[in-house]
Amino acid sequence: MGRPIGDVAKALLDAAGQQPDTVRKLMLRAGVGTRVGRYTASRMLERGELVVVLESRPAVVAAAGCAGVCMLPARSALALPVVNLREATTEAA
């Protein structure tokens, strides 16, 4: 078993569990600094604690296993390269 989760990672996980968002907005919501927040978020993505749910630029991330992943804010949907999300999901099914 590894080290226990740190304070910055806990704060980022709490913020990501509330609503998926960009790392920058998660850092603002969690109240952590930019440098330590970006470093910690990159390590959390490597470990699978945060997952990318929208590969836009910047990417939108959420806590792994978060029930709110399907509830992305409407402003994030505008960054998708897909023209019509409903058509894309029905074609995939």
**Closest to 19 measured CA to CA, from 58, 69, 80:** 69
How many separate domains does the chain show?
A: 1
Pair of tokens at residue 16: 């990501």
Greater confidence, 72 or 19? 19
- The answer to whether residue 1 sits within a structural domain is no
- The answer to whether residue 33 sits within a structural domain is yes
pTM for this prediction: 0.69
Confidence of residue 83 (pLDDT cuts 50, 70, 90): very low
Cβ neighbors of 45 (< 8 A, separation 6 or more) are 51, 52, 61
- The answer to whether residue 32 sits within a structural domain is yes
- The answer to whether residue 55 sits within a structural domain is yes
Provide the residue range defining the domain that includes 67. 7-92
Q: What is the mean pLDDT of residues 28-38?
A: 94
**Closest to 11 measured CA to CA, from 27, 25, 23, 22:** 27
Give the other-Cβ count within 10 Å of 83's Cβ: 7
Domain CATH for 60: 1.10.10
